[in-house]
Amino acid sequence: MKRRQFIQTAGVGLAASAVAAPAIAQSSPEVKWRLTSSFPKSLDTIYGGAEYMAKQVAEMTEGKFQIQVFSAGEIVPALQALDATQNGTVEACHTVSYYYVGKDPTFAIAASVPFGLNARQQNSWLFQAGGNELFNEFYKKYNVVGAPCGNTGTQMGGWFRKEIKTSADLSGLKMRIGGIAGQVLQKLGSVPQQIGGGDIYPALEKGTIDAAEWVGPYDDEKLGFNKVAPYYYYPGWWEGGPTVHAFFNQEKFNALPKHYQAILLNACTAANTWMQARYDMQNPGALKRLVGAGVQLRPFPQEVMEACLKASNELYAEISAKNEDFKKAINAMIAYRNEEYLWFQVAEFTYDNFMIRARARG
């Protein structure tokens, strides 16, 4: 009797499995996407963020959701990644939203603006204080969904062919710089140029530009900027903690099963952490090598910083007067920044300053 009962029970279980299996298969379809990056493969960390995200998606779906990553220029040029996603040429892209200030200056705030948030504050604002929701409401106008998918930490101020001693030295300077920061420098007489990463070196070498900023020591060393410009300035006051975004075509994202959407967004969050941690690991050694090779490492003079801050605040007021989306976002960012620095100065800065002095003492 027990044997017959076991066989009957097992038969019911097998039948249930046969019914359940197709339902599971139907909810986890085979999906293949293409993602275009704004970065060359040689920049393994910023480009690698998209690869890391795609790998996580594949692993979490047992290979059923595949995202093929293409470097800048393989499908579209570096600065057309968002356009390709918006119009459905590709399903996704990995880029920095301030590249698209020509569409609307609000794009810049989602990534980084002059004298904005540092990396930790940026992540806090986006993930915990409504930033992602604010920007995804804005992105609907462009048929995309955005997700933070990387951060470089505070960037360097860039490479200059001549010294910068006062803000007057910025006048007439042709500099590769993206986003709102270019407009700030324009107020001080500079001539900003927006150039993709792979095209910066030849422009600097030929003298087409006088200065260029990119990310930080690890990437800058790879791109060889020290060979054509001797002065390396810091900090990149325009990028205190810039977010690199993954953008998804709105219709393609909405068509995904809900658990695929969740996997995709969680993979982006993992890549966001991976990228900053990797840059923090790589930059110290690269900076030592650059200085050892004769690079002139310089801080921007205080007068230059103050002039740039003044110009930034003037620009924000000017844009806000004619762009409600920008006004809403910049006011939210500034309010959050002011609260965050109240807190950061209590513990973080005190601890960091102590450790800097302790290291100097040996």
What is the torsional sign of CA 117, 120, 122, 128?
negative
Give 77-106 as a DSSP string: -GGGHHHHHHTTSSSEEEE-GGGGTTT-TH
Write out the binding residues for substrate.
155, 176, 213, 239
State the Cα–Cα distance between residues 147 and 149, nearest whole angstrom: 6
Quote the pLDDT of residue 13.
Answer: 47
pLDDT band at 161 (very low <50, low <70, confident <90, very high): very high
Those residues whose C-beta lies under 8 Å from the C-beta of residue 117, and which sit 6 or more positions away, are 125, 240, 241, 333, 336, 337, 340
State the Cα–Cα distance between residues 122 and 242, nearest whole angstrom: 8
Token pair recorded at residue 99: 């590249």
Quote the pLDDT of residue 27.
Answer: 80
Give 285-335 as a DSSP string: HHHHHHHHTT-EEEEPPHHHHHHHHHHHHHHHHHHHTT-HHHHHHHHHHHH
Q: What is the pLDDT of residues 36-65, one digit of tens each?
A: 999 999 999 999 999 999 999 999 999 999
Beta bridge partners of 102: none
Write out the binding residues for Na(+).
214
At residue 45, the 3 state secondary structure works out as coil
Quote the pLDDT of residue 1.
Answer: 43
pLDDT band at 179 (very low <50, low <70, confident <90, very high): confident
State the Cα–Cα distance between residues 50 and 93, nearest whole angstrom: 9
Q: Bigger pLDDT: 6 or 320?
A: 320
Q: What is the mean pLDDT of residues 187-209?
A: 93
Is residue 77 reached through a cis peptide bond, with omega within 30 degrees of 0 on the bond before it?
Answer: no
State the Cα–Cα distance between residues 34 and 66, nearest whole angstrom: 9
Q: What is the mean pLDDT of residues 168-188?
A: 95
The phi, psi pair for 243, rounded to 5°, reads -85, 135
- Is pLDDT at 15 greater than 50 in this prediction? no
Write out the binding residues.
155, 176, 213-214, 239
Quote the pLDDT of residue 194.
Answer: 86
Q: What is the pLDDT of residues 211-269, one digit of tens each?
A: 999 999 999 999 999 999 999 999 999 999 999 999 999 999 999 999 999 999 999 99
- Is pLDDT at 323 greater than 50 in this prediction? yes
State the Cα–Cα distance between residues 181 and 32, nearest whole angstrom: 37
pLDDT band at 18 (very low <50, low <70, confident <90, very high): very low
Token pair recorded at residue 163: 């010294």
Q: What is the pLDDT of residues 73-85, one digit of tens each?
A: 999 999 999 999 9
Measuring CA to CA, how many Å separate 272 from each of 51, 137, 155?
A: 12, 21, 16
Owner of token pair 């810049």: 108
Quote the pLDDT of residue 26.
Answer: 62
Quote the pLDDT of residue 12.
Answer: 45
pLDDT band at 196 (very low <50, low <70, confident <90, very high): confident
CB 50 within 8 A of CB 94: yes
- Is pLDDT at 16 greater than 60 in this prediction? no
Quote the pLDDT of residue 25.
Answer: 53
Q: Bigger pLDDT: 250 or 18?
A: 250
